[in-house]
Structure 1
Amino acid sequence: MTTSLTIAVKRIHDAAAASDGARFLVDRLWPRGVSREKAALAAWLKPLSPSDALRKRYHGETADSDEAWDAFRLDYFEELDAGGEEAKAALFTLDAAAKVGPVTLLYAAKSAERNNALALREWLERRTR
Structure 2
Amino acid sequence: MQIKLERIYTKPADHSGYRLLVDRLWPRGISKVNAALDDWNKAIAPSNDLRKWFNHDVAKYPEFRQRYLAELAANPATTDFLNTLKQHASVIFLFGAKDEQHNQAVVLKEYVEKQNNA
Normalising by structure 2, report the TM-score: 0.91
Instruction: State the Cα RMSD in Å.
Output: 1.5
Residue 87 of structure 1: which of 78, 81, 89 is its match?
Answer: 78
Q: Which structure 2 segments of 5+ residues have no match?
A: none
User: Residue by residue, what CA displacement relative to the aligned partner does 1:17-40 show, whole Å, maximum 9, x if unpaired?
Assistant: 345511000000000011111111
**1:64–1:20: structure 2 CA closer, same or farther, 3 Å change rule?**
farther
Identity of aligned residues (%): 38
Alignment equivalent of 2:47, drawn from 43, 48, 51: 51
- Give the residue type in structure 1 aligned to 2:39: A
CA positional deviation for 1:77:
0.4
Over 3 Å counting, the alpha-carbon distance change for 1:20 and 1:58 in structure 2 is farther
- Helix, strand or coil: the match of 1:118? helix
Aligned residues, how many?
Answer: 117
Q: Which residue of 2 aligns with 1:6?
A: 2
CA separation in 2, counterparts of 1:95 and 1:53? 29
Gaps of 5+ in 1: none
- Match of 2:92, SS? strand
User: What whole-Å deviation, never above 9, does each CA across 1:61-101 have from its counterpart, x for those lacking one?
Assistant: x7122xx11100110000000111x333233222222xxx3
Superposed, 1:3-42 pairs within 5 Å as 5-42=1-38
Q: Which residue of 2 aligns with 1:113?
A: 101
Structure 2 residue identity aligned to 1:126: K
- Please tell me whether the aligned partners of residues 22 and 40 of structure 2 are also in contact (alpha carbons under 8 angstroms): yes
- Please say if 1:63 is aligned against 2:51: no
Contact 2:82/2:112 (8 A) holds in 1: no
Which 10-residue stretch deviates more, 23-32 or 11-20? Answer: 11-20
The answer to whether the 8 Å contact 2:8/2:96 transfers is yes
| Higher normalized helix content (fraction of residues) | 1
